């Protein structure tokens, strides 16, 4: 009997991006610097297990910078934001890390700044000309 391992997701494309997205939320300036975009193939097995519609996914990685420009304490939850492109929405924000993080409310003191490495996932493949239409939005 032979044994083998399958890697179900693998990268098929890598696009370097310098897109900067802005969003203003009640006194908090949110800047998203997209650093890379990866398109991944999704196996049939993973499509069934995770209920993924397409055989490709587009992963967008970024540095997300929050700056409380008000004189009041602000509470921000990164899970409230996603990306939008041509009437399609990405997954909610996830922290880009080797360990899993539970994203909770972030308390920002007046004039405080906070930066996190994050990512979003779109079901399906985004094309290069779609990148100019990506927006940071609140869910």
Q: Domain range holding 65? A: 9-138
Q: What is the CATH number of the domain that holds 21?
A: 2.60.40
Please give the average per-residue pLDDT across 65-81, as a whole number: 94
| Residues contacting residue 135 through CB under 8 Å, at least 6 positions apart | 21, 83, 84, 85
Q: Provide the domain count of the chain.
A: 1
Residue 2 is predicted with a pLDDT of 35
The string of pLDDT tens digits covering residues 75-118 is 999 899 999 998 899 999 988 887 777 777 899 999 999 999 99
Residue 74 within any structural domain of the chain: yes
**Which contiguous run of DSSP H or E holds residue 49?**
helix 44-50
Between 15 and 46, name the one with better pLDDT: 46
Residue 56 within any structural domain of the chain: yes
């Amino acid at each position: 009997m032979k044994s083998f391992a399958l890697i179900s997701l693998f990268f098929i494309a890598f696009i370097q991006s310098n897109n900067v997205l802005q969003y203003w939320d009640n006194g908090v300036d949110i800047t998203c610097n997209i650093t890379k975009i990866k398109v991944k193939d999704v196996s049939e097995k993973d499509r069934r297990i995770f209920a993924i519609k397409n055989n490709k996914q587009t992963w967008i990685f970024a540095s997300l910078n929050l700056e409380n420009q008000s004189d009041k304490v602000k509470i921000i939850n990164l899970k409230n934001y996603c990306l939008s492109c041509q009437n399609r929405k990405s997954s909610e924000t996830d922290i880009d890390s080797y360990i899993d993080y539970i994203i909770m409310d972030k308390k920002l003191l007046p004039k405080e700044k906070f930066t996190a490495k994050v990512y979003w996932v779109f079901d399906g493949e985004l094309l290069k000309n779609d990148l100019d239409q990506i927006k940071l939005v609140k869910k």
